[in-house]
A and B are shown apart, each in its own frame.
Chain A
Amino acid sequence: MHWLEEHWLGVSLILMGGGVWWLMPRSWQLPRIIGLITALAGAYLMSWGIKSVGGDLGDTVMFWVFATGAIACAILMITNRNPVYAALWFALATLNVCGLFWLEAAPFLAAATVIVYAGAIVVTFVFVIMLAQQSGATAYDQHARQPLLATLAAFLVLGLLLGMLRDANPGDVLVAKAQSPGVTANLLSQPAPGKTLDDDTMRGLGRSLFGDYLFAVELAGTLLLIATIGAIAIAPRRSRGTL
């Protein structure tokens, strides 16, 4: 156990990367459940090593449920051979991420993400997949490109991120900040006096968006308009009656 405490980062990265590599689509099929369980075990070991101290029990249980769902759905999405199933796994991953948003005192963001992603983006993508791949399974979905090298590179990046997180220890940063507040956010972006982030979410988010970031909101609206026009201009006409 002592050895594991020393090397939890490497072990967890190897476990998770090996599991994901196991699940990658290739010409032979390995039993998928083994890879998924290995990858999830690596992910659990990862957060065990970060030494997270739980809040209250309900939040902790909900966090584990949503985090497991998000990571499992993400793994299944990037390794599924059927693009329609992959899009549906992505929708499930989105729902789990929205659960995490909810736990982090961002209910408006959770609702907006469900509406925009699961309601609009995924549906459009599934439509395009079904229009474009009417003949069924295609060869290029059955073979991942460079599975070993890509997995190595990706989990090297994850290892760097987690190592940085372990060394930086954001909890200590918070404590230091509470003792000597330096640069603080704009007053409009902070919760009202006497209230916390969790009490005051909707009102505070509205004040932040339409007070502190009003100009950016206008810019984002213009961006949406331009993107709509651009999408209509780029999208091909139906010349021969087909897609």
Chain B
Amino acid sequence: MMRFDNIIIGMALSLILCGVTIGAERFPPPDFVETDHVIPSPTVPGPRQDIYEYIDAVVLLAALGLSSYLVLRRRSRRAIFVLMVFSLLYFGFWRKGCVCSVGAVQNIVLSIFDRDYTVPITVAVFFLLPLVFALFFGRVFCAAVCPLGAIQDLVLLRPISVPNWLESGLRLFAYVYLAAAVLFAATGSAFVICRYDPFVAFFRLSGNLNILIIGACLLVISVFIGRPYCRFICPYGVLLRQLSRLSKWRVTITPDECIQCRLCEDSCPFGAIKKPTTDWPTTEYSRSKKRLAILILLLPVLMFLCGWASSGLKTVTSRMHATVRLAERIYLEDTGKVEGTTDASLAFRATGKEQKELYADASNIRAEFKLGGWFFGGFVGLVIGLKLIAVSVWRKRTDYEAGRAGCLACGRCFQYCPKEHERLKKIKEARAKY
């Protein structure tokens, strides 16, 4: 038996003598003389064919169209529910949660900021279609197409209502999340929406354990609080909310005229039904006027403060980018502030690149975060300010109606309206005649 150490030493010696670089062909591939052995080639199983990606886009279009029809014309919770289950099975469990509209936000943002980054057509379709549909028909995507919404809606068994102030306050998180996702995507640091997608691990039945636990917690919460991810976290929901405010057609609780019977009042598990208001209380008027004036003046101050704060956090936020992390590590190692090396620092040193280059890259990225921080903070400040202004403005409403922004078009309220029953009865009678 040969001593192995000798072999290693021998080989190392021969390496040094020949002066070959690591990973090069140290041993020439053999010519087989005694046997006619054929050198095999590695297998290359292909990815999913493009045609299936297009099928996904077509299914999305069909599901959105059907959802709009079911919500606005058919007005049937049962049919919406069936479509929702289909979407959960198809986009969730079959397609394993990727590609999804929520995550597509980041691809679009990165494609705007990175000239070399290109977007596959499916991703562009997944981003744009639900927004266009929201502009025409409201949040029909949330109703029955989004698998993330569907999985929460299925477990909603004991809904309890969330007070308005808490709902509005928690929703702020979604705006911050959107802004953060845009910041990190624009700088090419990370796709945080995908990284912290709480339900994708369920669709795949495997994944990061921490995320799986967060997802399980959210699902438990969903039993009592309707669709917490959609209402308080979903960054794409923020876009849909705003576009759905302007939508041409939207969910109406009653098919014709509200008779103020109050039967639908508690039917919405998402707190999206707006109740009729009384007239503007005249005693409050002057006080509200002053408050509104102060808030409007405060708005730019708030934006500036938030922008300044988050821009100042650039050293922390920029650590989301791998290059900045690497540069910091290399700097610490070179100045002897830390012992040892990491895989990343070793890999960097193996490339033989100059430290200067790396530091320059890192400081460029940090500068991007400084500028991005202003936009991030400015946006968050704007949202906080507008939220405060919104609560101090009196809105006049005479009927019970589905909130333009908050309504997820799930169709639960239809059955509560006596006018709806009248309509269904008429349809039944008309059918019986034929």
Question: Are the chains A and B members of one assembly?
Answer: no
Q: List residues of B whose CB falls within 8 A of some A CB.
A: none
Q: List residues of A whose CB falls within 8 A of some B CB.
A: none
